Chains A and B, each alone.
Chain A
Amino acid sequence: MRSEQIFWPVSADQKDRIWQLCKKRLQRMPIQYVIEEWDFRELTLKMKPPVFIPRPETEELVNLVLEEFSQSSYPGKNPTSIFLEVGCGSGALSISLLHSLPQSHAVAIDKSVDAIKLSLENAERLNVHTRAEILQLDILTDAEELLLLLTQKYGLLDFIISNPPYVFQEDFIHLAAEILNYEDHGALNGGYDGMQVIKAILCLAPHVLKDYGKIFLEVDPRHPDMIQEWLQVQPSLGLDYIATIQDFCGKPRFCVLQKSMQM
């Protein structure tokens, strides 16, 4: 936009459109839903209520995975990789990874049909849809079906990535109106201790990952300790807790786990 344009008067039609958008914002609609898009790393994605809006912390989760791939030399690494995303929402994580790893393929699931539709739309707009399979599945109820699909169609996975619903039930009342009134609670609510979906992912993981395959999770700052404690009483899972990484506010935010041995 060149500087002269600032002198051109706004038309009545433009004013009206802006006012309509302002009204939405005045009703506490998140700005991302008002303008129907937002940026995630190098991409601009479409946003539509009630599909969960990607948070800035999640951008770092992608970087974490990419760093792994640039310096990784663990056995089983292929030039073409395949991963699972649980709870894809708008598709931000999968699409960003597919975009940065041109040889990768993704299976992305979400229990919400709105999320699936939006992820598909975003994947097409960003031209990664040919390497993505986006399915409406709920890991809490459809784990068997997912397992079958993955083993039959794709074989074992290189990694699993997720920003699962992790808000503790009791913390819900503290969320802002923008979140409570517009975003899908199903994308936020992790049950009484926020661990419900996390545990489901960790239980599924050993069955779908290659040996030494990794799991990358974004969680509540209290979860890294809770996950490590829980794993100690789940030896049959064969999962090792590798690391907790902080986000740029210095909060423990990301957990990296690894499948340690053959089941």
Chain B
Amino acid sequence: MEVTAGIGGQEAMLFTAEMFDMYQSYASFKKWSFEILEYYPSELGGLRHAAASISGQHEVYKHLKYEGGVHRVQRVPKTEKQGRIHTSTMTVAILPQPSEIDLTINPKDLRIETKRASGAGGQHVNTTDSAVRIVHIPTGVVSECQQERSQIKNKEKALKVLRARLYSKKLEEEMNKRQSVRKMQVGTKGRSEKIRTYNFPQDRITDHRVNKTVHDIKGFLLGEDLLDEMIQSIREYTDHEMLKELLENIPAQ
């Protein structure tokens, strides 16, 4: 899962932090593991961008894939002095984790960059910049990690993110052929269609794809039953739509 602050400056970043917390709690609620791979905070406690690896039983990807897209918040920001309501956005991207067998990455296709590249390295140097950047040469897909103090750990995490991005790219190419899935799966950054609005003054959350509104934002952000029920509704709706499409495409006898 990757979260990125969208339009709205500090307020968007604060909202992004709240959403990331919500998903972390949701993972705990569903008894999934939640491993933070990247975390870039902002000055006021907000979040610019973060990535986490979520795994567990009971169809993690099938639950979370509908969270992919642009989420919009409407409220009076903490930074606002005149009590005006602002609209900000953040984006969630859900990339399925490939199993080791599905996606083989040839180490020769990778360029691993670190800050120690020049000079003799080893005992000659003691710097603490352990950031690792990996470029997949054939596709140009890049991933970076500077979360950990151990360089080897950063490399492992960067590889994990790289695999997920490569797999997602491959997957999106195939997915684009299916119309109903394309409608629902606003899965990668760049699409401007808003999938859900969180309106604080009216204390409501509206999902625009299924046109469903629930109340109690505070409860929703806890990442427990309310979020789970919303996801369930969207799943049912999508399954229903997919079935319809399947039936419509059966050639007339």
Contacts and interface: CB of A to CB of B under 8 A. Distances in A.
Contacts of A6: 44-45
Contacts of A30: 126, 128
B135 interface: no
Interface stretch (B3-11, B58-66, B109-117, B189-197): B109-117
A169 to B, nearest CB: 13
Contacts of A39: 148-150, 153
B16 to A, nearest CB: 11
B128 A166 contact: no
B126 A59 contact: no
Contact of A165 (B21, B123, B149): B123
A167 B123 contact: yes
Contacts of B112: 248
A60 B152 contact: yes
B121 interface: yes
B123 A188 contact: yes
A251 B122 CA distance: 10
A31 interface: yes
Interface residues of B, number: 26
Contact of A178 (B123, B126, B151, B153): B126
A52 B124 CA distance: 12
Contacts of A233: none
Given A7-B45, A53-B126, A59 B151 contact: yes
Nearest to A166: B123
Interface string A1-15: 011101100000000
B126 A253 contact: no
A179 B120 CA distance: 14
Contacts of B124: 167, 171, 174-175, 179
Interface of A: 2-4, 6-7, 30-32, 38-42, 52-53, 55-57, 59-60, 63, 163, 165-167, 171, 174-176, 178-179, 183, 187-188, 218-221, 247-249, 251, 253
Listed from nearest, the 10 A-B pairs whose CB atoms lie closest are A56-B151, A6-B45, A39-B149, A59-B152, A39-B150, A3-B45, A249-B117, A248-B112, A57-B122, A31-B128
